[in-house]
Amino acid sequence: MLTEEHKAGLQASGYCVMEGVLSREETADVRRRLVAAAAESERRGVPIYREHLDPNDRNVRVFNLLDLDPIFLELIQHPVALEIVRHVLTDDFIISNFTANIARPGSGSMKIHSDLAIVMPEPWHSPWSLNVIWCLDDVTADNGGTLFLPGSHRLERRSDLPPDIAERMTPFEAPAGSVIAMEGRLWHTSGANRTPDQERALLFGYYTRSFIRPQWNHNVGLSAKTQASLTPEMRRRLGLDLTSNASLYADL
């Protein structure tokens, strides 16, 4: 599924779009289960609005997806996602986080950031992280399509960012069922949803090299039941075992 064109896009632009990864029925099923997961998150007392992230409560954030429905465990290890991850990060990767952001009409942009800058200090020389974004709705400029700064995956320091960054932001657009692979150095933000009635639901599967601390503490987030359902490989990718990045010794 990952073509030479996708690889060239990742290299040249820091992202690629793969359409039709999920069928229409699969997309609708995951979306329905995401809405149920948001309700379950609230029931568990994990808020779905975070003031430090979004300007108002029109954004619905769902954390700890992997514990909320097994469908998200399937998606995080979907063969298409892992093919892109291995291409960008090598096999030495961990699952850092898996979250959702539903931008509802009236939602605004969060702060412009890169996902690598969130988990490690500058300088950012290498593509050491990757977001696999699952589009559960059509993503458009109007309904809050993620905005990115073209070419910013080559910037190594915050001081390299242009002063007019806000004016230069460009929207991703992709049909529902697509995957947008965005390497961790690309600066981006959520778009404002200016439509009267369209929601924009995205899932963010975040993967990093194994020497970077995960964004989410899966040891605490995953229930005993979820942990018991995991393969040895998933336990390793989620940092649930006693050892973590021992494989790196092989490279010394």
**Positions that interact with ligand AKG (CB under 6 A):** 101, 146, 188, 190, 202
Distance of CA 74 to the CA centre of its chain: 15
Distance of CA 69 to the CA centre of its chain: 17
Nearer residue to ligand AKG within complex by CB, 188 or 236: 188
Question: Measured from the CB of residue 235, what is the shortest distance to ligand AKG in angstroms?
Answer: 26
Nearer residue to ligand AKG within complex by CB, 190 or 226: 190
Peptide bond into 171 cis (omega under 30): no
Nearer residue to ligand AKG within complex by CB, 39 or 53: 53
Nearer residue to ligand AKG within complex by CB, 178 or 190: 190
Which strands make up the sheet holding 93-103, listed edge to edge? 15-18, 179-183, 129-135, 200-209, 93-103, 59-62
Question: Measured from the CB of residue 141, what is the shortest distance to ligand AKG in angstroms?
Answer: 12
Residue 243: DSSP 8-state: -
Is 15 strand, coil or helix?
Answer: strand
Residue 179: DSSP 8-state: E
Question: Measured from the CB of residue 70, what is the shortest distance to ligand AKG in angstroms?
Answer: 23
Question: Measured from the CB of residue 113, what is the shortest distance to ligand AKG in angstroms?
Answer: 6
